[in-house]
Structure 1
Amino acid sequence: MNTFLSRVGSAGAAHPWRVLSLWAAVLAAAVTFAVVAGGEAHDDYDIPGLASTTGSHLLTDRFPEMSGADARVVVHSPDGAVPSAELSELGANLSAMPDVGVVAPPRLSADGDTAILDVRYTVPVTDFTGTEGTDPLEAAAEGARAAGLQVEFGGQVHENTSAPGGAAEAIGIGVALLILVFAFGSVVAAGLPLLVALTGVGVGGALITALAAFTDVSTTAPTIASMVGIGVGIDYALLLVTRYADGLRDGLTPVEAAGYANGTAGVSVVFAGSTVLVSLFGLRLAGLPVYSSFGYATFLTVGAVMLASVTLVPALCGLAGRRILGRRKPQRRNDTGTGTVTARWAARVGGRPLPWAVGALLVLLLLAAPVLQMRTWPQDAGSQPTSDTTRVAHDLIADEFGPGANGPLLVVVDLAAGTDPESVAAAVRTDPGVALVGTPLVNRAGTAAAIQAEPTSAPDDEATTETVQRLRAALPEGTHVTGWTATFVDISERLADRLWLVVAVVVTLSVLLLTVVFRAPVVAVKAAAMNLLSVAATYGVMVSVFQWGWGADLLGLPGPVPVSSWVPILMFTILFGLSMDYEVFLLSRVREHWLRTGDPHGSVVQGLAATGRVITCAAAIMIAVFTGFALDANITVKMLGVGLAVAVFLDVTIVRMVLVPATMALLGRRNWWAPAWLDRTLPHLDVEGGTREPNTVRA
């Protein structure tokens, strides 16, 4: 692979315009296909095997008027009771909207100044694209607003309409560019990684749009994919440009330097990117279609970015030539591990490894402690900014009708089983967690009934989950508890159950891949353990910031909110892949020096000295990009942005700068131990292009 990538790099630098033309053609073709034949992002919450799904399918088959999306129109009068004439007109307007099955009679608050009109559609919320669902609702409310009434909207239709983004991401990319300029001292060198990352993300985004024509792709998936793609794209290109600059300082020509960079750092990029791609496969094990789409989207983007890095970077470097070095006086690189701040730090930690290792471990465990209190719940209106209409509607309903009114349950009764809906309604009323039970609605054929029940607690309250579980245990056969709140309960439980399966599979695959790359099972297992500690610490910080509300104000949140159910598994797979990026970059240099010298302590010092600057710079860029996404209005994207930024910070400080040198110093030559049978079995993969020497410790 070293030879192949080296030839690719040299050829790209020797014929840059051919490579640039090829990538321009690829990007144009991908965008054209996406425009002509691409599809729309589409969330799919029809999840086989969930208890709530059985009830929703029964409604779809026998009671379509009650089976689709719901919208809640909240009308508030600042001057006393809401006029009945205005409510009648509003109800008529809502009934005339397309795809509406049922509009319930207005429900008035105790003082009469607030009313709720529940709208049931015959189509699921995922059938609406853009503002197709919200525009008719806004038009229907124009008369009531003209009469001086406050009209706000809740329910699935408005809550599933994504606000346009881009500003927060632009801020992160701008900060990343400033960091690159500072690191290289050259605008040319700074702009090159960013251009490569954006090209790869552009191709990946077009492929995601094309993919949406053939399968469901979550509306959030393209944003997540671009966030990861920009981060790793800049990282990969930065590593290659740094090696290219090293080659120039060593007296190589631009073509030779590009081949040298691709034959060394390019191999690390391929293996690091492969680790990310392997980790993403773990999302399929979550058992939710929406997670599969996250995996597909991010896989396409990271794959495009990785390919762009090892082909487009050499071509751009060939065009830039020695301008990569900027106006600073060129100096030969220091790759001996002496004299740098990182080398001195590594020597200090390696001199007393045990206290440093114990101290770092205690810090990570302390940060991870809050994870024991983690409560997950999919985002809802209660986590939106106070200026959002869904949040205003949520607060009005909670204040006037009680917190449970924001999360009604729908009890579906299969009348073909001989169950009496009135007796079911009576049984639901006896549950201590139920505040209100509506009159059973029976379909025209008399084969199914639907009963709406309101819990006494808010949707994201643990008491609501317990209420759903009690009802399911107590109600007779043929009765199903469904609705949006019950679906979220089932999703949270499914994800909590599958998290450990995803962790086990991703960790196992990553350990196997690292073992193949470095021929050292001890290094692979140690890297996985450190990454698990880093992820656990990140989860703990997430609980402190979001669930405990320690950073709610800074992030524009109204107050403490549960950790989004979508985040833990998604963040784990992404974080494990990204952490392995740095592990590959660092350990490949350490192993290169180990094979050259056979000195286990000196190889760690030299490896850290050689990679410290580029890893620190890469981490700072990733933190900037992820922090930009933390400003996104979508709570899932916001949590992922915060989590990924925190994880990268912990990884580059506590893990790479303390735990890695400390543990490698403690283990010494045992780091590179491998059983003789394994050493004979594994292929020889020279990740950094160094000469293999017989320093592997065998059993």
Structure 2
Amino acid sequence: MSVAPHPPTAPTDAPPKTAAARQPRPGPLGRLGMWSARHFRTMLIAWLVVVAALGAFAPQVMHALSGAGWQADGSDSVKARQVAEQHFGGNASTALQIVVTADRPVTDAPVQQVIGKAEGLAQADPRIAQIVPPQPGATISKDARTAVILAGAKASPDAMVRAADDLKGPLAALSGNGVTVHATGASVLWSDFNTANHDAMMHSEILSWPVTLAILVLAFGTLVAAGLPLLLTMAGLIASAGSLVLLSHLFPVSIWAMNFAMMFALALGIDYALFLVVRFRGARMGHHRSTAHAVAETMDTAGKAVLLSGATVLVSLSAVMLVPSPAFRSMAGGIMLAVLFVLAATLTLLPAVLGKLGHRIDAVALPWVRTGEHRSPRFAAWGERLWRRPVAYGATALVALLALAAPVIGLRTAMPSIDVLPRSADARAGYTAVQHAFGPGAPGTLQIVAPTAQAADTERVVKAESGIAAVMPAQRAADGSSWTLLQAVPAVDPSAKELGATVNHLRADLPAGALVGGAAVENLDLQHTLTQKAPLVIGVVLALGFLLLLVALQAPLISALGTLASLLSTGAAFGVARLVFQDGHGAGLLGFTPQGFLDGWAPVFFFAMIFAIAMDYTVFLLASAKEHFERGGDPKQAMVGALAHSGRVIFAAAAVMVAVFFTFALSGPLPPKEMGIVLGVAVLLDAALVRLALLPVLLRLTGRAAWYSPAWLRRMLPKITFSHG
């Protein structure tokens, strides 16, 4: 994305008039950059005000964000839960179950005292509705050593997760003298799940920081320049965290939104800062340009690529909004919010800082760094090699990607089982105790609500279903409404695939108006929705990615090839995920027990994230190639020049991302491991095989046709160029 290098010349901030007269007129982003550079104090104060105003809310983020929302809005199971909440004292899937186990009968006085204290703790919480004490023949085990107290849900699913956060500790503290108390149920499961994953992600981020800083110093070559991504990341993170807290007052925002926002803010902050800083240093080298004009050139070239890259990330993630699940939508929204703030800081605050630093950007440089070096001789040599032998290198990369992607054909997905929680977690301990006392399906009890007029037919169908082990007596609504609740215990563990067949049979045979729900069924309905929506989300992501590349590059062929190349690395990453997490290859090394499937949210959510990152690098490489092609119309110079000027940036940015993502593979719980391996492998393959091999080869093989655009298309598209002057 730059002209051929000239011998180093000391940059000057006051160029001769003849040089100034030859300065090309900056474009819109160039003028924005120059204004920011010349008004450093104004820009700095503006950002300090934004960060301070939103940062005042940031400390509340962990408490304000919600822990639930993993549901398919509008599904029968959610409707059943709503009926149970309204008409059956909160005896719904979000109710808390307090499991008391003892080394003596639970009817003994000391155990009864513990049960009474547990009921009192639950009753004192305003989010708890009706308390149902242990019932013989229903919630007291046959050996009388286990009892279950039901604490009904009086609040939203998110508030019930917070109730679990607050109650599980005091309840566990009642244990002692041969009596053990654990809280379990869906709300406690999500409480433990969110805590375990948050702790693991924070631990991984702490581990990744030293590696990230080391790579940044090596990539930038100077300590001053290496600190700039941290400036963008901190500004973006603080602003987005405060914004998420404010948004949580309007609608529930998943706590995972902040976790993913932190990760993307760091990754993109590094990408964008690296791209602009390297270009700025090159613009100041040997052109007799002032700092302001170097900023203008940087923004008109690299800044334009960053803007289009950010837009690509945003539209890719926006497709996740098509999934009717609050958790998915808020996670995507949180990432998009962080990207917006990082993008805004990159296009305004960073040019201002660059303008202020000027030649001091190279301060505290490493001994072997050539100050201002922009074109990489090594990547230029690599480009020449690819140009000479495109078929050999291209075929090797393509075969490797297809081979890794092939296992995707047998990929299975499901919602995570209780095994993703640590054995010490309250929800898992209570879950295990309930299974031992009441049977394998007891933790996944189905809740079936039906109009009272159809209660008898509903009970007959449920009792006749072979997948049901026990049916509790029908319960009429206490508020006088025309609803009846039946609770049925499945014959299998809630995570067993046979449960899905049982639920399908019930729904097919039950009278009209009857609804099958329960926590396990909500998981099944969410998985079904994700499976249904995956093709739509993937199609929309691909279509929007292609359209943005088409607008940016004005060239249909290379835009289509760039989009398909991104799909290859994504498919290869999921192929590796199947081998690791479904088939268990490397499970011992990574320290987990395979579930036999990949978690259900991975295909939709991880696809959007991977594609967004892949297109990020695509824009950087192809924008640089287009700049070179605009300057000379030479396909070889476009390909080789793109690698020479952006290859090192892509390589360094990918190295940081891979280091960050792979640290999550060291986390305890399974979901962060899945995220770390899938995203890390995707970035590694995309940078090494697609951006630095396959895509340049495609530029070589298509030649001038890669940049051809019919006249009618050029008339429709806005004119976008990447060359400066």
- Alignment TM-score, normalising by the size of structure 1: 0.90
| 1:155 has 2:192 as partner | no
Are the counterparts in 1 of residues 229 and 273 from structure 2 also a CA contact under 8 Å?
yes
CA distance in 1 between counterparts of 2:322 and 2:228 reads 37
What is the distance in 1 between the residues matched to 2:307 and 2:227?
A: 22
State the Cα distance separating 1:505 from its structure 2 match: 1.5
SS at match of 1:368: helix
Q: Aligned equivalents of 1:60 and 1:330: distance in 2?
A: 66
1:248 is aligned to: 284
> Contact conserved, 1:227 with 1:629, CA < 8 A, in 2?
no
| 2:160 paired with 1:136 | no
Instruction: Give, as a single letter, the amino acid of the residue that structure 1 aligns with 2:645.
Output: A
Match of 1:379 in 2: 416
Question: What is the CA–CA distance in structure 2 between the aligned matches of 1:520 and 1:201, rounded to whole Å?
Answer: 35
Matched-pair contact (CA < 8 Å) for 1:531–1:576: yes
How big is the shift at 1:499? 1.1
Q: 1:39 to 1:347 in 2, by over 3 A?
A: same
Give 3-state SS (helix, strand or coil) of 1:100's partner: strand
Q: CA deviation at 1:529?
A: 1.0
Q: What one-letter code is carried by the residue in structure 2 that aligns with 1:136?
A: L
Tell me whether 1:49 sits opposite 2:49 in the alignment: no
Equivalenced residues, count: 682
Cα deviations across residues 293-341 of structure 1 (Å, max 9, x unaligned)? 223222221011001012222222234333332434774767677xx33
**Deviation of the 1:5 alpha carbon:** 2.0
Q: Distance in 2 between matches of 1:275 and 1:52?
A: 35
Q: Which residue of structure 2 aligns with residue 314 of structure 1?
A: 351
- Is the counterpart of residue 105 in structure 1 residue 153 in structure 2? no
Whole-angstrom CA distance in 2 between matches of 1:34 and 1:246: 37
For structure 1, list consecutive stretches of 5 or more residues without a partner in the other structure: 692-699
Match of residue 615, structure 1, among 650, 653, 658: 650
Structure 1 equivalent of residue 54 of structure 2? 30
Deviation at 1:180, TM superposition (A): 0.7
Shift of 1:406: 2.8
Identity %: 32
In structure 2, what is the equivalent of residue 237 of structure 1?
A: 273
Is residue 2:191 matched to residue 1:167?
A: no
**CA deviation after TM superposition for structure 1 residue 490, in Å:** 0.7
Q: Which residue does the alignment assign to 2:226?
A: 190
SS at 1:153 equivalent: strand
Match of 1:460 in 2: 495
- Are 2:662 and 1:606 aligned? no
Distance 1:355 1:50 in 2: 52
**Is 1:341 aligned to 2:375, yes or no?**
no
Distance in 2, matches of 1:508 and 1:394, equals 44
CA deviations 1:119-172 (Å, max 9, x no partner) are: 433334312464x334334434544x1323233332123222232533322322
- Unaligned segments of structure 2, at least 5 residues: 1-24
Structure 2 counterpart SS, 1:432: coil
Deviations 1:496-535, CA, capped at 9 Å, x for gaps: 1111111111211111111111011111111111112222
The match for 1:642 is 677
Q: Deviations over 1:426-452 (max 9, x none)?
A: 432332322232222222227222222
Query: Aligned to 1:386, what secondary structure does the other structure show?
Result: coil
CA distance in 1, matches of 2:589, 2:241: 30
Whether 1:126 and 2:169 are equivalent positions in the alignment is no
Corresponding residue of 1:362 = 399
Deviations 1:539-593 (CA, angstroms, capped at 9, x unpaired): 2222223233334455554543642223321222222222111011001111122
Check the 8 A contact 1:201/1:301 in 2, yes or no: yes
Corresponding residue number in structure 2 for 1:697: none
- With over 3 angstroms needed to count, the CA separation of the structure-2 counterparts of 1:84 and 1:142, relative to structure 1, is farther
Deviates more, 1:472-481 or 1:536-545: 536-545
What is the match of residue 651 of structure 1? 686
- C-alpha deviation, 1:212, in angstroms: 1.2
Name the CA distance, whole Å, in 2 between partners of 1:434 and 1:356.
58
Relative distance call for 1:461 and 1:321 in structure 2 (3 A) is same
Structure 1 equivalent of residue 240 of structure 2? 204
CA–CA separation in structure 1 for the residues paired with 2:152 and 2:238? 39
Contact 1:67 1:122 in 2 (8 A): no
Residue 31 of structure 2 aligns with an amino acid whose one-letter code is R
1:546–1:398 Cα change, 3 Å:
farther
Number of the residue aligned with 2:296: 259
1:5 maps to which of 29, 42, 55: 29
Q: How does 1:661-680 map to 2 (within 5 A)?
A: 661-680=696-715
User: Is 1:431 aligned with 2:465?
Assistant: yes
Residue number in structure 2 paired with 1:224: 260
Amino acid at match of 1:160: W
Tell me by how many angstroms 1:39 deviates. Answer: 8.9
Q: Give, in angstroms, the shift of residue 649 of structure 1.
A: 0.9
Structure 2 CA distance, aligned partners of 1:672 and 1:360?
A: 23
CA spacing shift, 1:266–1:387, aligned 2, 3 Å: same
Alpha-carbon RMSD: 2.9
Against the structure 1 CA distance between its residues 201 and 136, is the aligned structure 2 distance closer, same or farther, given a 3 Å change threshold? closer
- Contact 1:37–1:213 (Cα < 8 Å) also in 2: no
CA contact (8 A) 1:408 1:454 kept: yes
Structure 1 position 283, deviation (Å): 1.6
Mapping for residues 279-678 of structure 1, pairs under 5 Å: 279-325=316-362, 326-327=364-365, 328=367, 331=370, 340-415=377-452, 418-421=453-456, 423-444=457-478, 445=480, 447-553=482-588, 555=590, 557-560=592-595, 562-630=597-665, 636-678=671-713
How many Å separate the matches in 1 of 2:396 and 2:309?
A: 28
Q: Residue 254 of structure 2 contacts residue 330 of structure 2 at CA under 8 Å; is this kept in 1?
A: yes
